[in-house]
């Protein structure tokens, strides 16, 4: 059997089949057809800018941010795609905002950035909920980094999220010596700062308490027959009985108490 002849016949049949599927004759003119594709268009750097029809607009109609209930019913693949869509939209909005500031123009609907950021934060919340549920089911733990209350270099308590270091804390004698023995926590400067910081917090609380007390006095003066239970619920830190006895709370009438 002549294999070379058989191979040539197969090549000719394949060539004729390909030409018949990709060409057609119109009045004796041969035209080549193109395959249909659904890939997205690439605009290069213009993808960082908004559509041209929105460049001169002062108000652009946009939707609201994605809610948590809407994101919880979506799959991880959909959330992954939506994240990159929002990331691309956020980059475009930042570029347009910067360009408008450079051209001294009004950036239309700046709340779009807040809506995109809110949607991205909600996606992170949903992903975190799923990760915690998965780790609790598999290992009985949340899988999150442990957080504990520590005292920083200024003597203030803060939340510290643990992380890995190349050298353990108990082996780092340089850090232990500077932090505890000669440290900044027991130093005179830190103690003075902490005393002034507590004094500042106390003054802020005192001023807020005085503002609420004066406001309650004015309310009692203007509305003597108002519901006291609701007033106590609205201002729980104010002594209502003391405010009633004050002179500022008395109007041009005889008090009932």
pLDDT digits (tens, 9 = 90+) for 115-132: 999 999 999 999 999 999
d(CA 131, CA 139): 12
Helix H or strand E encompassing 241:
helix 240-245
Residue 248 banded pLDDT, cuts 50, 70, 90: confident
Does the predicted model carry a pTM greater than 0.85? no
Range 187-190, long-range pairs (CB < 8 A, 24+ positions): 190/153, 190/154, 190/155
**Token pair for residue 52?**
């041209």
CA 106 from chain center: how many Å? 25
Choose between 180 and 220: higher pLDDT.
Answer: 220
Residues facing 30 on adjacent strands:
25
**Token pair for residue 104?**
């001294």
Can you give the pLDDT at residue 134?
A: 92
Task: Provide DSSP, 89-147.
Answer: HHHHHHHHHHHHHHTT---S-THHHHHHHHHHHHHHHHHHHHHHHHHHHHTSS--SPPE
Say if CB 90 and CB 120 are below 8 A apart: yes
Residue 177 banded pLDDT, cuts 50, 70, 90: low
**Token pair for residue 138?**
């598999």
The domain segmentation of the chain, as residue ranges, is: 44-138, 147-186, 189-249
**C-alpha distances in Å from residue 152, one per residue of 90, 140, 161, 184:** 35, 31, 13, 9
């Amino acid at each position: 059997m002549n294999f070379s002849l058989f191979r040539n016949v197969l090549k000719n049949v394949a060539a004729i089949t390909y030409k018949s599927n990709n060409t057609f004759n119109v009045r004796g003119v041969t035209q080549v057809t193109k395959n249909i594709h659904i890939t997205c268009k690439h605009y290069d750097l213009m993808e960082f800018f908004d559509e041209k029809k929105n460049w001169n607009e002062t108000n652009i109609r946009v939707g609201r941010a994605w809610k948590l209930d809407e994101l919880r019913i979506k799959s991880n693949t959909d959330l992954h795609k939506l994240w990159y869509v929002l990331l691309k939209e956020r980059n475009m909005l930042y570029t347009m905002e910067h360009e408008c500031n450079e051209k001294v123009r009004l950036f239309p609907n700046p709340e779009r950035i807040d809506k995109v950021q809110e949607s991205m934060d909600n996606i992170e919340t949903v992903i975190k909920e799923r990760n915690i549920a998965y780790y609790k089911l598999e290992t009985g733990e949340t899988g999150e980094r442990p957080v504990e209350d520590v005292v920083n270099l200024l003597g203030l308590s803060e939340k510290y999220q643990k992380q890995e270091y190349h050298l353990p804390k108990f082996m780092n004698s340089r850090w232990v010596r500077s932090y505890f023995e000669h440290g900044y926590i027991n130093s005179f400067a830190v103690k003075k700062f902490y005393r002034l910081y507590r004094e500042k917090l106390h003054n802020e609380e005192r001023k807020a308490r005085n503002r609420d007390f004066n406001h309650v006095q004015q309310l009692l003066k203007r509305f003597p027959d108002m519901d006291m239970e609701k007033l106590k619920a609205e201002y729980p830190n104010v002594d209502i009985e003391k405010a009633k006895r004050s002179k500022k709370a008395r109007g041009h009438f005889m008090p009932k108490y």
